[in-house]
Copies of this chain bind each other. A is one copy, B any other.
Amino acid sequence: MDTVTALTHEALLAMDQRKRAHLINSLGGFKSVCLIGSIDSQQRTNLTIFNSIVHLGAHPPLVACIIRPDTAERHTLDNILETQCYTINHLNESIYQKGHQTSARYHKTISEFDAVGLTPEFRNPFLAPFVKESQVKLGLEFRQRVNIDLNGTILIIGEIVHVSFPTPCWCTDGYLDIEKAGTIAGSGLDSYHVTHRLKRLSYAKPDLPLTEISPDYLTR
């Protein structure tokens, strides 16, 4: 039997700052790690890795992310507010190290696309750059900013106005097999993981046993 560590609120607050950051960032579970592409009004592109992306709703199709203005994420925030659009691009195994490198604090005049070696891809008339090397790409229009006064972070909400993905990954019921598309998951501040599906499970109802949903891919 494994030994268990239990920590109180006081122990968490007393912990070394970087150690606490690693621990607390791990406690939320696995998370989405994506590259957010943006552009300012002078056509300067920016690319930053985010691990705080969360589904907000399907109708309208809304995605939210948390921005920390005291980090490399600040330029992304400036650009989104300036041009009202941005892209979300899934990370895969072939680009995650370049993706991680975008978290370095580059000067505003340097594009992370150039600095880390990823390719901006433009889809007219959408302004913000997508990442060519990504397999699942979302174009979003800015909808709302919510300031979280508790800790100075900002919730940015966008509406999905464009999406592209490999056709063989799309199932007939609408589910997109992001594992098959090569999308990876993150944990903590710096850990990257490939995944292996256990099961898809049927819609749960009281007093009805769950069944497995078999992959039924759209082919067209």
Decide yes or no whether A157 CB sits under 8 A from chain B.
yes
Q: Which residue of B lies closest to A12 (CB)?
A: B61
Q: How many copies does the complex hold?
A: 2
A33 interface residue per 8 A CB criterion: yes
Q: Which residue from chain B places its CB closest to the CB of A28 in the assembled complex?
A: B55
The 4 closest A-B pairs by CB, nearest first: A29-B32, A22-B174, A19-B174, A30-B185
Task: Please tell me which stretch of A37-45, A78-86, A136-144 contacts chain B, meaning at least 4 of its Cβ atoms lie within 8 angstroms of it.
Answer: A136-144
| C-alpha spacing A7/B66, complex, angstroms | 26
Q: How many residues of A contact B (CB 8 A)?
A: 117
Per-residue 0/1 for A176-218: is the Cβ within 8 Å of any B Cβ (1 yes, 0 no)? 1111000111111111111111111111111010100100000
- Given A57-B153, A195-B193, CB of A175 within 8 Å of CB of B22: yes
List CB contacts (< 8 Å) of A1-54 with chain B.
2-9, 12-13, 15-34, 51-54
Are B206 and A115 neighbours in the complex by a CB distance under 8 Å? yes
Shortest CB-to-CB span from A47 to chain B, Å, is: 13
How many Å lie between the Cα of A177 and that of B24 in the bound state?
Answer: 12
User: Told that A31-B54, A52-B54, A184-B198 touch, could you supply 6 new A-B pairs with CB distance under 8 A?
Assistant: A17-B58, A27-B176, A28-B32, A62-B150, A190-B201, A190-B203
Q: In chain A, residues 59-89, which have Cβ atoms closer than 8 Å to a Cβ of chain B?
A: 59-64, 66, 68, 88
A119 interfacial by beta-carbon distance below 8 Å: no
Choose from B20, B57, B155 the contact partner of A61 (Cβ within 8 Å): B20
A213/B198 in contact, CB under 8 A: no
Q: Give chain B residues whose Cβ lies under 8 Å from the Cβ of A201.
A: 97, 100, 190-192
